[in-house]
């Protein structure tokens, strides 16, 4: 299984906080930065990260292949 990690396009993020609500082990909304961050890319299984990605209103979370 390929290793992939979620990445946020912070320029596009509208700081709605949904990703943190759906998967707080991986995403955190930083009010000081004005966007969400990936705090732990492997903090949850893929099937818990995918819904956060699918529900992002700005569609700014994507998978990136992780280096081995």
Contacts with ligand SF4, residue ranges (CB under 6 A): 8, 13-19, 27, 29, 35-36, 56-58, 60-61
Query: Could you tell me the smallest distance in angstroms from the CB atom of residue 7 to ligand SF4?
Result: 10
The strand pair at 27-30 and 61-65 is best described as unpaired
Query: Could you tell me the smallest distance in angstroms from the CB atom of residue 60 to ligand SF4?
Result: 5
Minimum CB distance to ligand SF4 smaller for 1 or for 38: 38
Tokens coding 4: 């992939």
Residue tagged 């707080």 (tokens): 24
Minimum CB distance to ligand SF4 smaller for 18 or for 49: 18
Q: Assign 3-state DSSP to the chain and report helix, strand, coil percentages, each to 5.
A: 20, 25, 50
Tell me the C-alpha distance between 6 and 56, whole Å. 12
Query: Could you tell me the smallest distance in angstroms from the CB atom of residue 5 to ligand SF4?
Result: 14
């Amino acid at each position: 299984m390929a290793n992939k990690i979620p990445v946020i396009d912070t320029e596009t993020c509208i700081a709605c906080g949904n990703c943190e609500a759906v998967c707080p082990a991986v995403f955190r909304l930083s009010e000081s930065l004005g966007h969400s961050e990936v705090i732990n890319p492997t903090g949850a299984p893929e099937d818990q990260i995918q819904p956060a990605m699918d529900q992002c209103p700005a569609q700014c979370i994507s998978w990136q292949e992780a280096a081995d």
